Chain A
Amino acid sequence: MAMLEIRNLHVSVGGEEILKGIDLAVDAGEVHAIMGPNGSGKSTLAKVLAGHDGYEVTQGEVLYEGEDLLELEPEERARKGVFLGFQYPVEIPGVANTYFLKAAVNAIRKHRGEGEIDAMEFLKHIREKMKLVKMDDALLKRPVNEGVSGGEKKRNEVFQMAVLEPKFAILDETDSGLDIDALRTVAEGVNVMRTPERGFLLITHYQRLLNYIQPDRVHVLLDGRVVKSGDKTLAEELEKSGYALFEDNAA
């Protein structure tokens, strides 16, 4: 069985159907990319998988390691290894990054029946991960996402992912707002984390991220439906011809 299996997923917001029957299966060790224009339902999919309560699932199911994911609270999903890299990371004034990450690490450890992490061990762990995303040491003491640029926030999302070491990571437009160097760093961070045990779902508007992260599968999302799936050449095709190519299929 696939690590994440989405079956006939229908999702509405305020009575309006956004996702109209998504079928998708991601195996451990795979990287899948979901591409689509604005308003196609990409971010809705990411948020539903993470457990945001602003969306109503009207049909279908999502299995994560064989378990009904939609039954779980957002924090339970996170503790079981589901990570969402936010499109718009949220500011938490006055809460230092280290403090925030430690709370998260300990919540996950507690769920696994492990004790709180030793302070020195924790520091060593996060220092190591900072190098991975070329992050400045000063960031650790700074409040979560406060007073930093959009690009820095995205880099911080990848840093958090590296620290929390999830089993399944969804990155929602992590590439948008990044300059080319930052994009490369973020991609390297993801590539280092690609292991046979971990699955990824990359949500992106542009093909350029996929120059740095080679996906196993690419899915095109249009108007709440996956209209085409293929290998990485599909992304290149999209880059050349645009989404118009698939619009007939969507209708």
Chain B
Amino acid sequence: MSASTKTIEELTRKGYEFGFVTDIEQESLPPGLNEDTVRFISAKKEEPEWLLEWRLEAFRNWLEMPLPNWAHVKYPPIDFQAISYFAAPKDQPKSLDEVDPKLLETYEKLGIPMHEREMLAGVQQRQVAVDAVFDSVSVGTTYKDKLAEKGIIFCSMSEAVREHPELVRKYLGTVVPKGDNFFAGLNSAVFSDGSFVYIPRGVRCPMELSTYFRMNAGHTGQFERTLIIAEEGAHVSYLEGCTAPMRDENQLHAAVVELVALDDAEIKYSTVQNWYPGDENGKGGIFNFVTKRGLCAGKRSKISWTQVETGSAITWKYPSCVLKGDDSVGEFYSVAVSRGHQQADTGTKMIHMGKNTRSTIIAKGISAGHGEQTYRGLVRVLPTANNARNYSQCDSMLIGDQCGAHTFPYIDAQHPGAQIEHEATTSRISEDQLFYCKQRGIGEEEAVSLIVNGFCRDVFKKLPMEFAVEAQKLLEVTLEDSVG
């Protein structure tokens, strides 16, 4: 191998530092999907009869659904019979102390705190509670007891089904119905694990809650299901992070996330998505086909989505808000990066139903290499939504001349009083900007990351402090060497 190919290889590899595989004994279902698969998963999780029926209904319905093809993404057909729908570490721990050291090591390497830190006297330390999902199961949740003191439930979805079936039954599928769309249908049939959060009335969650999704096993899909409920006046900030090993095959991640905010409740949901994007030729990588939706059910409730999408071969998701309660507020702040051969078709839907509902959309798309970037958004104002307002801003930045940026904003105003604003820009990093930075001593790569970070600033400042720094670093790594 010549020196220069080696450098190129090092650089492209350097771009994804979470690509390792954890060597752990796992049990998994052989590939294939039929009613028995659904029954197996349900039995494995010791689910009640109603949930098995719910899954089976979803599965039968899914069989009738056509694969959607409207997204601006290209990929080879997915063989749903070639995927394993369940994989889990063999030894299931009963408590955090019993978690396999190899798993703890994995999370250590990923920089995820799985130990509950003692509060040091006199030292103000931010605590973050973590639920760690490894392939199809949650392997541990931290700070559960501390949160329980306030009546907050933070656990894996499987545990919630066992311990709080009444809450799960009341809310599951109410925001994203099981027949909502093809991938949500599939998820409803075979969903494995995810997080469950319940914040009781009037409680402000004292720490950040986060779930860390790790796909480890090969030929496996991850079908996470997350449900967050904020009762009247409750507040919660939640973050999810995602990584996966580098593999030559494409892997499917089809999640469903449902949020419910009652009167005066507020949910802030942040995502830092860094699934393996595939290699420099576009081989391998995660298909991230996700349905995320929040229901502002109550008056003056607020749901805010913030996402930083740097990974995945294909990202196809639209975290949305249904603004049902009067005076409710929906927000969507997004930074999406596609480089190499990555494709992203992402955006949001803001459905205004209640009076005086407001929504804000700020989407920043960055394309480099052969990356394709699409913003797709829907702002719908129903006849009931008197005095609804929306402001949307979509900015695209192109780096190099092989990439693309596309914007598809849909506006459907059914009330004459609706106020909808849409602004869009497309820009490049100019030679002048680069020269200016260089003239001050700043090298090219650092200059690019500086300019891109500036471009994303409006979104980064919405992220919780700790994660804003993480997101900035992630962007630096992602864009390394993207300017030729």
Contact = CB atoms under 8 A, between A and B. Distances in A.
Contacts of A95: 450-451, 453-454, 457
Interface string A100-136: 1101100110010000000000000000000000000
A73 B435 CA distance: 10
A77 B440 CA distance: 9
A52 interface: yes
Interface footprint category on A: 20 to 34
B456 A104 contact: no
A148 to B, nearest CB: 15
B435 A107 contact: no
Interface string B416-449: 0000000000000010110111111111101000
Interface string A75-98: 101110001101001111111000
Interface string B450-478: 11011111100000000000000000000
A247 to B, nearest CB: 33
A78 B450 contact: no
Nearest to B444: A75
B436 A104 contact: no
Given A74-B435, A103-B446, A107-B446, A92 B440 contact: no
B442 A104 contact: yes
Contacts of B432: 90
A143 interface: yes
B53 to A, nearest CB: 52
Contacts of B451: 92, 95
A92 B450 contact: yes
A143 B443 contact: no
A50 B440 CA distance: 10
B440 A104 contact: yes
Nearest to B458: A94
A160 interface: yes
Contacts of A89: 436
Interface in B47-82: none
Contact of A79 (B433, B437, B441): B441
A32 B436 CA distance: 23
Contacts of B439: 50-51, 74-75, 77-78, 83-84, 86
A94 B438 contact: no
Contacts of B456: 94
A90 B438 contact: no
Contacts, number: 76
A164 interface: yes
A75 B442 CA distance: 6
A49 to B, nearest CB: 10
A94 B454 CA distance: 4
A50 B457 CA distance: 30
A107 B454 contact: no
Interface string A41-54: 00000000011110
Contacts of B446: 103, 107
Contacts of A103: 437, 440, 442, 446, 450
Contacts of A90: 430, 432-433, 435-436
B477 to A, nearest CB: 17
A108 B441 contact: yes
Contact of B441 (A53, A94, A111, A143): A111
Given A86-B436, A103-B446, A107-B446, A92 B454 contact: yes
Nearest to A88: B432
Contacts of A75: 438-439, 441-444
Nearest to B446: A103
Contacts of A92: 433, 436-437, 450-451, 454
A83 to B, nearest CB: 8
A111 to B, nearest CB: 7
A107 B453 contact: no
A78 B441 contact: yes
A99 B455 CA distance: 14
B441 A104 contact: yes
Interface in B387-433: 430, 432-433
Contacts of B433: 90-92
B213 to A, nearest CB: 30
A103 B436 CA distance: 13
Interface in A7-30: none
B438 A51 contact: yes
Contacts of B430: 90
A103 B437 CA distance: 9
A160 B436 CA distance: 12
Contact of B454 (A53, A73, A83, A93): A93
A91 B439 CA distance: 14
Most buried by B among A89, A90, A111: A90
Interface string B291-312: 0000000000000000000000
A246 B437 CA distance: 38
Contacts of B453: 94-95
Nearest to B436: A90
Contacts of A107: 440-443, 446
Contacts of A52: 435
Nearest to B364: A94
A45 to B, nearest CB: 15
B455 A160 contact: no
A83 B438 CA distance: 11
B397 to A, nearest CB: 10
Nearest to B449: A103
A71 B455 CA distance: 32
B438 A78 contact: yes
Contacts of A160: 440
Interface of A: 50-53, 73-75, 77-79, 83-84, 86, 89-95, 99-101, 103-104, 107-108, 111, 143, 160, 164
Given A73-B438, A100-B437, 16 more contacts: A75-B442, A78-B439, A86-B436, A86-B439, A90-B432, A90-B436, A92-B437, A95-B451, A95-B454, A101-B440, A103-B446, A104-B441, A107-B446, A108-B441, A111-B441, A160-B440
Interface of B: 430, 432-433, 435-444, 446, 450-451, 453-458
The 3 closest A-B CB pairs, nearest first, are: A94-B454, A95-B454, A94-B457
27 contacts: A51-B438, A74-B439, A75-B442, A77-B439, A78-B439, A83-B439, A84-B439, A89-B436, A90-B433, A90-B435, A90-B436, A92-B433, A92-B436, A93-B455, A94-B453, A94-B454, A94-B457, A94-B458, A95-B457, A100-B437, A100-B440, A101-B440, A107-B443, A107-B446, A108-B441, A164-B440, A164-B441
